[in-house]
Amino acid sequence: MIRNFLTSCSKTLITFLKNDARHPRYKIRFLGIFFHTIFLLVITILLQYVSFIRTDEIDFLKAAAILKHDVFKIDEKPWARNVVFIDVSKDPALADDDEYGPPDSTMKGAQRVITDRVKLAKLFSILNNHPNDYKYVLCDILFEKPGPGDDILKPQIEKLHNLLTSSVWDNGKLVRPIYKVASAVVNYTAINKSVFTKIPIYYNDSLKSLPVSMFERTTPYRFTKKNYLTFLNGKPTFNTVIPEFYYRPVDMITAFARKNINTYYLGELLADTGCFSVLKNKFIIIGDFANDIHITYLGKMPGTLILWNAYLTMYNHQATVSLGWLLMLFVFYFFISYWIIIHPERKFQEIHRKIRIPFLTTFLISYISFIGLLILINIFSYFYFGTFVSLFYIATYLTFAQVVIEKLPGWKKSLYEYILSM
């Protein structure tokens, strides 16, 4: 479908070029159109490196996701038979800082709620008895301080194959687990202030985020960074990823769950003596699905699900700058450039002038027109390539560019008359 659309657009574009190339004054402008199109492509790519995203653009992401999942009923669950989610929210334990806190702590008698490490040790012991019969373990639990059960958990977790746990980037400092295990960075608050939208490939220019580390450990692909650009196996990619939320709280074991996709509470899973049968040949995703909650463009989401969805998004290569995506943008941007440069008399401004709309109103109508075009571009970009295109900044630039091009002949004439009058 997308190829047929692009082919049709290309044929239409060629027809325009043949017709207008007959006019000598247009030949130079076509060169300007081409470079302006390339300029828009470069700006679009650079905006993907910005972690911040506007509120109105968040609304677009929400609307697009709802349209995809609830209207078109496109609701993929990648690897649904190959993943197990284990919720530790019903298995807490208390760590007394008198015993497990730092020696110089002033918080005597304080207690911390942590995950029951004895139960985790039992789970990891079962996995250690079958070291080659599970795919990978993502344990989204921060073991930043000692706690009861460490003596049991430590040998089991450090023995595990194919395990990745969470570190946190806090106030310019990397907080790693107290155990000798592989870990990678998780930091939701630094991504987009109050609403999570994008997860970076790199934190602090060198630290890779947890989904990236897991992606590299389970595939032959590697991210690298050169100056300000990021590459995936040598191919240009973005430094931020907007996760496609394949899995959402509605799929988990909650009161509102519509589906039960291999989801278990830790204690209930361990109560089954044959529990390894549900873990065999699976990705095992461990986290607190009730308390580790973050605000996303689709509402509240457990942090562990965000990480898993980000991993799946990267696995589908939706972070790369694909040729199909660039071709789609080039066709759209060429038509937009053609519209505002070659045929200003065909623009909406001609209608605006006839009915004498004030300049500010004309500007706003032009801006809304470009927003509409960019929403159309975004629909193709989001649904077919999983990539979001910034709306506000490009629409603002195009509106100002359109005004300048329209007013330029008048400005030249006024300047010429002023010079003659000197």
pLDDT higher than 70, residue 364: no
Specify the 3-state DSSP secondary structure of 139: strand
Which of 296, 315, 334 marks a domain boundary? 315
Q: Are residues 341 and 286 in the same domain?
A: no
CA distance 333 to 236: 21
pLDDT at 11: 56
Residues for the chain: how many in total? 422
pLDDT higher than 90, residue 418: no
By C-alpha distance, which of 170, 167, 154, 148 is closest to 97?
148
Detail the DSSP E strand segments found in 274-331.
283-287, 293-296, 299-302
**210 close to 164: Cβ distance less than 8 angstroms:** yes
Which of 315, 336, 369 marks a domain boundary? 315
Please give the structure tokens belonging to residue 370. 């470009």
pLDDT higher than 50, residue 2: no
> Which residues, other chains included, contact 37 with Cβ-Cβ below 8 Å and sequence gap of 6+?
330, 333, 334, 337
Strands 223-226 and 229-232: antiparallel
By C-alpha distance, which of 298, 322, 285 is closest to 211?
285
pLDDT band at residue 167 using 50, 70 and 90 as cut-offs: very high
Q: Are residues 228 and 208 in the same domain?
A: yes
Q: Are residues 195 and 91 in the same domain?
A: yes
User: How many distinct structural domains can be found in the chain?
Assistant: 2
Specify the 3-state DSSP secondary structure of 338: helix
CA distance 120 to 156: 9
List pLDDT tens digits, range 239-293.
888 888 999 888 876 545 555 678 899 999 999 888 899 999 999 999 999 999 9
Please give the structure tokens belonging to residue 89. 């929210």
pLDDT at 352: 46
Which of 291, 315, 339 marks a domain boundary? 315
Per the structure, the complete domain to which residue 382 belongs is given by 2-70+322-421
pLDDT at 105: 52
Burial of 206 (0-12, 13-18, 19+ CB in 10 A): exposed
pLDDT at 25: 60
Q: Are residues 153 and 117 in the same domain?
A: yes
Q: Are residues 44 and 163 in the same domain?
A: no
Q: Which residue bears the tokens 């060169």?
A: 31
Backbone angles phi, psi at 300, to 5 degrees: -70, 135
Q: Are residues 132 and 208 in the same domain?
A: yes
Please give the structure tokens belonging to residue 2. 């997308």
pLDDT at 10: 54
C-alpha 269 chain-centroid distance = 32
pLDDT mean over 162-190: 86
Q: Are residues 142 and 194 in the same domain?
A: yes
List pLDDT tens digits, range 178-227.
999 999 998 775 444 567 888 889 887 788 999 999 999 999 999 998 88
Q: Are residues 199 and 230 in the same domain?
A: yes
**233 close to 314: Cβ distance less than 8 angstroms:** no
What are 169's strand-pairing partners? 174
Q: Specify the DSSP element, H or E, that contains 229.
A: strand 229-232
By C-alpha distance, which of 187, 198, 188, 137 is closest to 162?
137
**pTM value?**
0.79
CA distance 350 to 363: 13
Identity of the amino acid at 170: D
pLDDT at 164: 97
By C-alpha distance, which of 289, 274, 294, 291 is closest to 85?
289
CA distance 304 to 294: 10
Specify the 3-state DSSP secondary structure of 86: strand
Q: Are residues 147 and 62 in the same domain?
A: no
Q: Are residues 83 and 195 in the same domain?
A: yes
**118 close to 152: Cβ distance less than 8 angstroms:** yes
CA distance 303 to 85: 13
pLDDT band at residue 235 using 50, 70 and 90 as cut-offs: confident
Q: Are residues 334 and 306 in the same domain?
A: no
Q: Are residues 198 and 176 in the same domain?
A: yes
Q: How many CB atoms lie within 10 A of CB 338?
A: 20
List pLDDT tens digits, range 129-152.
999 999 999 999 999 999 999 999
Strands 83-87 and 263-265: parallel
List pLDDT tens digits, range 103-118.
555 555 568 889 999 9
